[in-house]
């Protein structure tokens, strides 16, 4: 049986000289552990009051008023805990950093109601039932490997989301791409859902959201390049789409052409390896952020998985840079 949802009981006085600030804006300043959107919901539900009375998010504060919050935190959802092994890189009372394997879906959805990272997290840490989305603040594609951070408290989750919004979280990825890249650069191209293929994303000039990927060359082979990509934004499939836009799709990327675009002049053995690589060659190798409680910068590194290393070794032997 699920435990009761934890409750919040907070009060604060609006500082003098508020100057007609909106209640929701003032509440986000006075109760910084909670997002403005969540505070707006609580205002509308009557859980957050102004001088003891229900109010609206747009009501004004001028100074001296009392804001009181009495609310219950929402549970993560109607998901089940499952005993799925996790590769835990770091854990304390606030954070959990994992090294996600290939093939593991992050969040339940259509076609994947169980067997996901979220289900595994609920088994490993049952208290995550009381944190929205079981503490997940960012995602990796099913077949992308590497580092993810999970918040173990609602307050930590809000903090990490704000760090992501401020672009202060450093996320670096190793990606093996088709073709020879001479130098690094930046792709600053907006992205949106593909207009006709709804499971894909695409670079677009109409209605797209800002998407920025910085990349540098880590290692060159004869016909392929290992690059290090750094995300300034976190759009769905961002690295995969941006590298394909550069005409250098990721090796093994069935969605964006990396499994079909083969370099000319490679051996039949290497050609077979490229064609049969079962996923996009993308690994989240470095993660850096400020700990929500300790306020210290922390960083983690995850080595590339064995299948990624094997293809790099084969490239070094059969496709050397000449």
For residues 161 and 133, what is the distance between their CA atoms, to the nearest angstrom? 12
Beta bridge partners, 202, equal 192
92 is catalytic: no
Angle CA 253–254–257, to nearest 5: 75
Crossing angle between the packed helical segments 36-45 and 23-30, to the nearest 10 degrees: 120
Q: Give DSSP secondary structure letters for 141-192.
A: -TT-EEEEEEESSHHHHHHHHHHHHTT-SEEEEEEEEES---S-EEEE--EE
Helix (H, G, I), strand (E, B) or coil at 268: helix
Among residues 24, 141, 143, 253, the one annotated as catalytic is: 141
Residues 6+ apart with CB under 8 A from 255: 199, 200, 237, 240, 280
Q: In this structure, are residues 136 and 128 in contact, taking their beta carbons and an 8 Å threshold?
A: no
Q: In this structure, are residues 77 and 136 in contact, taking their beta carbons and an 8 Å threshold?
A: no
Active site residues: 141
């Amino acid at each position: 049986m699920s435990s009761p949802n934890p409750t919040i009981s907070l009060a604060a006085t609006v500082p003098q000289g508020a100057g007609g600030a909106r209640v929701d804006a003032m509440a986000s300043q006075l109760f910084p552990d909670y997002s403005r959107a969540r505070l707006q919901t609580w205002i509308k539900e009557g859980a957050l009051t102004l001088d003891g009375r229900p109010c609206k998010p747009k009501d004004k504060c001028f100074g001296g008023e009392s804001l009181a919050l009495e609310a219950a935190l929402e549970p993560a959802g109607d998901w089940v805990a499952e005993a799925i092994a996790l590769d835990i890189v770091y854990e304390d009372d606030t954070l959990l950093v994992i090294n996600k394997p290939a093939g593991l879906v992050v969040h339940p959805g259509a076609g994947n109601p169980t067997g996901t990272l979220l289900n595994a997290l609920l088994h490993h840490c049952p208290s995550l039932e009381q944190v929205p989305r079981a503490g997940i603040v960012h995602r990796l594609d099913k077949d992308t490997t590497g580092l993810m951070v999970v918040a173990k408290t609602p307050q930590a989750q809000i903090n990490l989301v704000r760090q992501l919004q401020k672009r202060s979280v450093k996320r670096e990825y190793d990606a093996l791409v088709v073709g020879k890249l001479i130098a690094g650069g930046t792709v600053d191209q907006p992205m949106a859902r593909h207009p006709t293929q709804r499971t894909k994303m695409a670079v677009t000039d109409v209605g797209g959201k800002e998407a920025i990927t910085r990349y540098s060359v880590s290692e060159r082979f004869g016909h392929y390049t290992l690059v290090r990509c750094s995300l300034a934004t976190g759009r769905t499939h961002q690295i995969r789409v941006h590298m394909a836009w550069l005409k250098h799709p990721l090796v093994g990327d069935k969605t964006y052409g990396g499994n079909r675009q083969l370099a000319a002049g490679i051996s039949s053995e290497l050609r077979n390896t490229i064609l049969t690589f079962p996923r996009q060659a993308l690994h989240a190798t470095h993660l850096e952020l400020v700990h929500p409680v300790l306020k210290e910068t922390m960083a983690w590194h995850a080595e590339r998985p064995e299948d990624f290393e094997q293809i790099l070794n084969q490239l070094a032997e059969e496709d050397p840079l000449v």
